[in-house]
Amino acid sequence: MDFEKIFLDGVEWNFVTEIVGRTFVMFLIILLILRLSGRRGVRQLTLFEVAIIIASGSAAGDPMFQDDIPVVYAIVVLGCVIIVYKLVTWLASRFTFVSHLLEGKEMIVVKDGVFDVKHENDNSYSKMEFFAELRNQSVEHLGQVRIGVLEVDGTLSLLYYDDEEVRYGLPLFPATFREVESLEGVGPFACMYCGCVVPHLSEKKMKCRRCTRDRWTKAINTKRIH
């Protein structure tokens, strides 16, 4: 490997000091533009906001080290992006269909302690990711959750059952999320795919009546840790 070529090929040393100046200027402009966007910070981004960031990313970075790009070009690009952002955000706040078109729709993924299987063919809904998200919010099993909504920014909103209403549900942590080995032992059992709970299994590979899959684990009904 020719490290000298990778790192130093064609370097003009007097332009390096200009890069320092350009970077300071662009950084301040980017900060100013982001403040003008009106967002308070970044927690989760919707797809529309990710698109905005990609669109402005190169315009914000290139003038820092390209001597043939005047900073004013970047200001024009970033200004336009912010105008589009403001306009579209305003349209989305006035018209629901615009926001659905841009950012998708929130989606009920858990209802009454089981996964809502309506979305099982929906590509945007990855169950494994969702398991992790539930665990992050200290949900031990689905029987604790009355309703779970996947928001458009990818976060999960949960409403829980009261302690005395917690029912048997599908365990979410690896130690308990294990397929039953035999029919011995007492139920109830939970379908490992949709979370549907049955009191008994007629056979080890019984078909789930909700989702027709055939893997079962022992359901649990522990209370939520507050």
Indicate whether 152 belongs to the interface with Zn ion (CB under 5 A): no
Indicate whether 190 belongs to the interface with Zn ion (CB under 5 A): no
Segment near Zn ion (CB under 5 A); pick from 35-43, 68-76, 176-184, 211-219: 211-219
Residue 92 vs 208, nearer CB to Zn ion? 208
Indicate whether 211 belongs to the interface with Zn ion (CB under 5 A): yes
Q: In terms of DSSP H, where are the helices of 9-95?
A: 13-37, 47-65, 71-94
Tell me the C-alpha to C-alpha distance, in Å, between residue 17 and each of 70, 126, 127, 217, 223: 16, 48, 51, 64, 62
Smallest gap from Cβ 189 to Zn ion, in A, equals 11
What residues have CB less than 8 Å from 125, skipping those under 6 apart? Answer: 107, 109, 119, 150
Give the strand pairing for 189-191 and 156-160: unpaired
Smallest gap from Cβ 169 to Zn ion, in A, equals 12
Segment near Zn ion (CB under 5 A); pick from 29-37, 51-59, 108-116, 202-210: 202-210
Indicate whether 196 belongs to the interface with Zn ion (CB under 5 A): yes
Task: Name which position in 64, 114, 191, 198 contacts Zn ion (CB under 5 A).
Answer: 191
**Cβ–Cβ contacts within 10 Å for residue 144, how many?**
26
The span from the CA of 32 to the CA of 35, in Å, is 5
What is the longest distance spanned by two Cα atoms in the chain?
A: 80
Task: Name which position in 210, 214, 222, 224 contacts Zn ion (CB under 5 A).
Answer: 210
Segment near Zn ion (CB under 5 A); pick from 48-56, 120-128, 178-186, 207-215: 207-215
Indicate whether 107 belongs to the interface with Zn ion (CB under 5 A): no
Asked whether the beta carbons of 120 and 213 are under 8 A apart, the reply is no
Segment near Zn ion (CB under 5 A); pick from 122-130, 142-150, 177-185, 209-217: 209-217
Smallest gap from Cβ 152 to Zn ion, in A, equals 27
Task: Choose among 224, 197, 13, 225: nearest CA to 216.
Answer: 197
Q: What phi, psi does 211 have (nearest 5°)?
A: -120, 0
Task: Name which position in 208, 217, 218, 219 contacts Zn ion (CB under 5 A).
Answer: 208
Site residue total, Zn ion (CB under 5 A): 7
Give the binding site for Zn ion (CB under 5 A).
191, 193-194, 196, 208, 210-211
